[in-house]
A and B are shown apart, each in its own frame.
Chain A
Amino acid sequence: MLDSSTNAAAGTLVSASRRRRRARDRALHGVVPFLLILPVVAVIGVILGYPLYWLVKLSTERYGLFELIQHKGVWVGLDNYRSVLGDAVFWRTLLRTVVFTIANVALTMVLGTLIALLLVRVSSWVRLVLSSGLVLVWAMPVVVAVQVWYWMTNFQNGVVNYVLTELHIGDFFQHDWYATTFSQLSLTTMLIVWGALPFVVITLYAGLAQVPGDLIEAAEVDGARSWRIFFDITLPILKPILLILTSLSIIWDFGVFTQPYLLIGQSKITTGNYLMSIYLFEEGYFKSDFGRGAAISILMLLIVAALSVVYVRKMVRMGEASA
């Protein structure tokens, strides 16, 4: 009796301490993830939150040259947003930029996939040459690349005009590649796609390595044609990578500035060929209207978020499915 009672007492004691430990473990388990993520959140908060706070604040202020010199803006509420949204140039620029972005992203993704598929099939030395070429493109700084393209398409001495003329495609002597908005933006698209391909190709090539060879073999044995294999086997396996690349490309291409601004050149930039980033730069910086510029960049942020929401949702769903 005594034994059993002490035993029982000891039992409750043991189980109580075990329970306490378990509870503590559980609490710790709850806290640890948050502790782990804390440094990242703190860093992001400082690096992004702080400037974002100032950007939002700036967008609600009249902040021109006078205010810049005083280092103090005047609160105007939503006036900057009202003025931007009421500007016909904004809406035309937005439409142009959306079309421009779609063209860029589509070309980048389609060409990127095709080249990645090609990389798998070619012999190893061709693959070596191709991928070193891609890495060299990647390594070239944007400003240098723009300068090279600018010279190639030069009116007077450009090699493009020379080659096209020599190939008897037509008389391209002194052909002006910057004469129309369409031509200007097409050149910009070529430059951007050319620069974006290496990253897309190399990433997709890595993804293609995950496609199991026996699966394809089995499909071939079953008599599936190559396009069927591509759409039913390769594509589903590449899907997560394609989604990430597409949404990244949308973000990059929607806000692209360096290539169009430098290639087209400041003296040819007019309201008729604005892209969103250039609109932001011209309205905000050239006119020294920083409050309005801030409002434009907040709007751009929201638009990109809206544009990529489809992809983000798909990616998130995929993440949930695999978890």
Chain B
Amino acid sequence: MKRRSTVALSLVVVLAAALTAATSGATQRAAANNITVWLQVDAQSGWPDLVASVNKQFQSAHPGATVNVQYQNWGDHLQKFDATIAGNSVPDVIEMGNTEMTKYMAAGAFAPLDKSTFDNSANWLKGLAASGKFGGKTYGVPYYAGSRVVTYRTDLFKKAGIKKLPASTAEYVADAKKLAATSSKKGFSPVYIAGTDWYVAMGFVFDYGGGIATEVSGKWKGLLDSPKSIAGLTAYKNFFDATSKASKTTDESHPNPYDVYAQGGAASMIGQSWFTCCVGAKYKASTAQFVMPGHVKGQALPGFLGGSDLAVPASSQNKALAAEWIKDFTSTASEKTLQAKGNIPNATNLLGSSVNERAAARSWFVPTAKHWVDVENGNILRNMLAQILNGKLSVKQAAASASDNIARVLNQD
């Protein structure tokens, strides 16, 4: 009996070992003037030359200082950030999506910054500046914004006999029918949209006057089940069915739309304006962009105004140096380079009239709730879109259940 209990006990211990085994990612402890910068992979694929030149400039202005840039993925960078907070080895600069800032600012994760020391701070884009402000203090420096546009193959549009770019979604669908005949490739998409790309889908919702959620006297209320939102979701389903051969359950990075495009799998695609970076040498010369039209002729489909902020974690050992680096990386010269790559610069006085900047004129943004990021990470919208496109649920059923879920998540304390 005694023996049995010892064996049982040791087994319990072994079980505990199997379950509690946890991984931990540790970044190296910062040296006196070594700063670690976390940028998203977008910089790595889109403008690595800017990062390199800013680092060079920074290092010549601060002799002996080194910059260690580590590229992160949107999917897990917050979990990694949490782990570094727990281990007291945070990066000195971190790029945050504008939808991710609120939760971290509210928890006191970032150090306040002196807004006036940054270039063009008086003219920062309103939406981006607001996402980096909390309780009257500035924690995030706008880095860049981006809207979503259509990137298309001019040669295929010509081959299909399309003389005028579509001015409404209906015209675009009609053009898609002609475009489908231009390629014999199996699975060719006239307009490539990943099924669960909610940034595109919600554009349809906002185009029909719908919304995701709204705050009514301190409580969040889901809006996806409203008649206008349902009309938008139905329009998305119809548009997808008519134009895209992408998987109905996949997201916009598995595969990257520009990879499909570069392999000749699409005549056009909806996505970030910097997608032109990666369309492949073969199609580089025959690629152009236009503003995605909405259902009313002549009006743009509202685009998600995405953007990034740069912040300095509160427990960084080199806050002053980190702020200096942000200053260089968001200087007028840097922002102009970002603009040349197809992004929207962070200040109104720098705005031009590119397709991207015109598209940003009609835009939408996610509900500014502390728990919004949980809605994103919980894939509530993606799941709803997959259900709708698969036909597993009617638009109404899927929207109603998603709407309830969103309200529940946003109303957590």
- Interface size of A in residues (CB-CB distance below 8 Å): 50
A174:B247 contact, CB within 8 angstroms:
yes
A320:B19 contact, CB within 8 angstroms:
no
A319 CA to B15 CA in the complex, in Å? 19
Determine how close the nearest CB of chain A comes to the CB of B375; give it in whole angstroms.
11
Neighbouring A residues of B79 by C-beta, 8 Å: 285-286
Determine how close the nearest CB of chain A comes to the CB of B55; give it in whole angstroms.
29
Instruction: Kindly state whether residue A44 has any CB partner on chain B within 8 Å.
Output: yes
Scan residues 245-284 of chain A and give those whose CB is less than 8 A from a CB of chain B: 251-252, 255, 265-272, 282
Neighbouring B residues of A305 by C-beta, 8 Å: 12, 15
Given contacts A65-B103, A69-B314, A251-B18, is CB(A156)–CB(B265) below 8 Å?
yes
A68 CA to B103 CA in the complex, in Å? 13
Neighbouring A residues of B238 by C-beta, 8 Å: none
A164 CA to B12 CA in the complex, in Å? 45
Determine how close the nearest CB of chain B comes to the CB of A93; give it in whole angstroms.
14
Determine how close the nearest CB of chain A comes to the CB of B36; give it in whole angstroms.
18
B187:A68 contact, CB within 8 angstroms:
no
CB-based nearest A residue for B194 = A267
A270:B378 contact, CB within 8 angstroms:
yes
Neighbouring B residues of A51 by C-beta, 8 Å: 20, 22
Instruction: Kindly state whether residue A301 has any CB partner on chain B within 8 Å.
Output: yes
Determine how close the nearest CB of chain B comes to the CB of A304; give it in whole angstroms.
6
Neighbouring A residues of B86 by C-beta, 8 Å: 68, 71
Instruction: Kindly state whether residue A308 has any CB partner on chain B within 8 Å.
Output: yes
Proximity bits, B10-28, A CB within 8 Å = 1, else 0 = 0111011111101000000
Of B19, B78, B86, B250, most buried by chain A (CB within 10 Å of CB) is B19
Determine how close the nearest CB of chain A comes to the CB of B196; give it in whole angstroms.
7
Interface residue stretch chosen among B104-112, B150-158, B169-177, B279-287: B104-112
B8:A316 contact, CB within 8 angstroms:
yes
A251 CA to B18 CA in the complex, in Å? 7
Proximity bits, A280-323, B CB within 8 Å = 1, else 0 = 00100111100000000100110011001000110111011001
Instruction: Kindly state whether residue A55 has any CB partner on chain B within 8 Å.
Output: yes
Instruction: Kindly state whether residue B3 has any CB partner on chain A within 8 Å.
Output: yes
B20:A52 contact, CB within 8 angstroms:
yes
Instruction: Kindly state whether residue B53 has any CB partner on chain A within 8 Å.
Output: no
- Interface size of B in residues (CB-CB distance below 8 Å): 52
Option from B16, B104, B107, B378 in Cβ contact (under 8 Å) with A282: B378
Neighbouring A residues of B186 by C-beta, 8 Å: 173
Option from B22, B82, B106, B378 in Cβ contact (under 8 Å) with A68: B82
A300:B19 contact, CB within 8 angstroms:
yes
Determine how close the nearest CB of chain A comes to the CB of B396; give it in whole angstroms.
19
Option from B7, B76, B265 in Cβ contact (under 8 Å) with A266: B76
Neighbouring A residues of B237 by C-beta, 8 Å: none
Proximity bits, B98-124, A CB within 8 Å = 1, else 0 = 000001101111000000000000000
A270 CA to B379 CA in the complex, in Å? 6
A319 CA to B103 CA in the complex, in Å? 54
B75:A266 contact, CB within 8 angstroms:
yes
B13:A48 contact, CB within 8 angstroms:
yes
Given contacts A44-B13, A68-B86, is CB(A265)–CB(B254) below 8 Å?
yes
Scan residues 239-280 of chain B and give those whose CB is less than 8 A from a CB of chain A: 245, 247-251, 253-255, 260, 265
A251 CA to B82 CA in the complex, in Å? 28
Instruction: Kindly state whether residue B70 has any CB partner on chain A within 8 Å.
Output: no
Determine how close the nearest CB of chain B comes to the CB of A66; give it in whole angstroms.
4
Scan residues 80-138 of chain B and give those whose CB is less than 8 A from a CB of chain A: 82, 85-86, 103-104, 106-109
CB-based nearest A residue for B260 = A156
Of A64, A272, A312, A319, most buried by chain B (CB within 10 Å of CB) is A312
Instruction: Kindly state whether residue A155 has any CB partner on chain B within 8 Å.
Output: yes
Instruction: Kindly state whether residue B164 has any CB partner on chain A within 8 Å.
Output: no
A52:B16 contact, CB within 8 angstroms:
yes
A245 CA to B12 CA in the complex, in Å? 16
Instruction: Kindly state whether residue B349 has any CB partner on chain A within 8 Å.
Output: no
A316 CA to B5 CA in the complex, in Å? 9
Instruction: Kindly state whether residue A217 has any CB partner on chain B within 8 Å.
Output: no
Scan residues 331-348 of chain B and give those whose CB is less than 8 A from a CB of chain A: none
Instruction: Kindly state whether residue B163 has any CB partner on chain A within 8 Å.
Output: no
A308 CA to B11 CA in the complex, in Å? 10
A301 CA to B11 CA in the complex, in Å? 12
A68:B15 contact, CB within 8 angstroms:
no
Determine how close the nearest CB of chain B comes to the CB of A183; give it in whole angstroms.
10
Neighbouring B residues of A286 by C-beta, 8 Å: 78-79, 374, 377-378
Neighbouring A residues of B19 by C-beta, 8 Å: 251, 255, 297, 300-301, 304
Determine how close the nearest CB of chain B comes to the CB of A247; give it in whole angstroms.
8
Option from B254, B260, B265, B314 in Cβ contact (under 8 Å) with A267: B254
Determine how close the nearest CB of chain A comes to the CB of B153; give it in whole angstroms.
18
Instruction: Kindly state whether residue B354 has any CB partner on chain A within 8 Å.
Output: no
CB-based nearest B residue for A184 = B249
Option from A55, A269, A288, A315 in Cβ contact (under 8 Å) with B379: A269
Option from B18, B249, B380 in Cβ contact (under 8 Å) with A255: B18
B379:A267 contact, CB within 8 angstroms:
yes
Instruction: Kindly state whether residue B148 has any CB partner on chain A within 8 Å.
Output: no
Option from A69, A178, A179, A312 in Cβ contact (under 8 Å) with B8: A312
A316:B4 contact, CB within 8 angstroms:
yes
Instruction: Kindly state whether residue A176 has any CB partner on chain B within 8 Å.
Output: yes
A55:B20 contact, CB within 8 angstroms:
yes
B16:A66 contact, CB within 8 angstroms:
no
B377:A320 contact, CB within 8 angstroms:
no
- Extra A-B contacts (14), CB below 8 Å, given A272-B383, A312-B8: A44-B13, A47-B17, A52-B16, A65-B103, A66-B107, A155-B247, A179-B390, A266-B379, A267-B196, A267-B251, A285-B82, A286-B79, A304-B19, A320-B4
**Which A-B residue pairs are the 4 nearest by beta carbons?**
A267-B251, A65-B107, A155-B247, A66-B107
19 A-B residue pairs with CB within 8 Å:
A48-B16, A55-B20, A66-B108, A69-B315, A156-B247, A156-B260, A174-B187, A176-B249, A178-B250, A251-B18, A265-B251, A267-B75, A297-B20, A301-B19, A304-B18, A304-B19, A316-B3, A317-B4, A323-B3
* B contact residues vs A (CB 8 Å cutoff): 3-4, 7-8, 11-13, 15-20, 22, 75-76, 78-79, 82, 85-86, 103-104, 106-109, 186-187, 196, 245, 247-251, 253-255, 260, 265, 314-315, 374, 377-380, 382-383, 386, 390
